[in-house]
């Protein structure tokens, strides 16, 4: 069984550089964003293009 804490995820209040680090370490281009109080509650997803766009970098499609 996969334990939720072992799976790469993010929280709404984390800074963007944390998301980039987690994506890089996990070799993923999307992360689930979960509720900090209940990691079983999905708040949304963040993509690499989302993060790069927030930094003003155009991603390739």
**Residue 32 bridge partners (DSSP):** 45
How many domains does one find in the chain? 1
Paired sense of beta strands 30-34 and 42-47, if any: antiparallel
- Token reading at 30: 């999307």
Taking the C-alpha atoms of residue 36 and residue 56, their distance in angstroms, rounded to an integer, is 27
User: What pLDDT score was predicted for residue 11?
Assistant: 95
The domain of 13 spans: 4-54
Q: The domain that contains 16 carries what CATH number?
A: 3.10.580.10
Task: Give the Cα separation of 11 and 35 in Å (integer).
Answer: 6
Within-domain flag for 47: yes
The answer to whether residue 59 sits within a structural domain is: no
- Fill in the DSSP letter of residue 61: -
CB atoms within 10 A of CB 21: 12
The model's pLDDT over 2-58, given as tens digits with 9 standing for 90+, comes to: 555 678 999 999 999 999 999 999 999 999 999 999 988 999 999 999 999 999 997
Domain membership flag for residue 30: yes
């Amino acid at each position: 069984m996969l334990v939720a804490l072992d799976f790469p995820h993010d929280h709404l209040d984390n800074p963007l550089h944390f998301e980039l680090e987690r994506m890089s370490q996990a070799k993923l281009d999307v992360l689930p964003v979960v509720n900090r109080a209940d990691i079983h509650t999905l708040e949304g997803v963040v993509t690499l293009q989302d993060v790069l766009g927030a930094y003003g970098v155009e991603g390739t499609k």
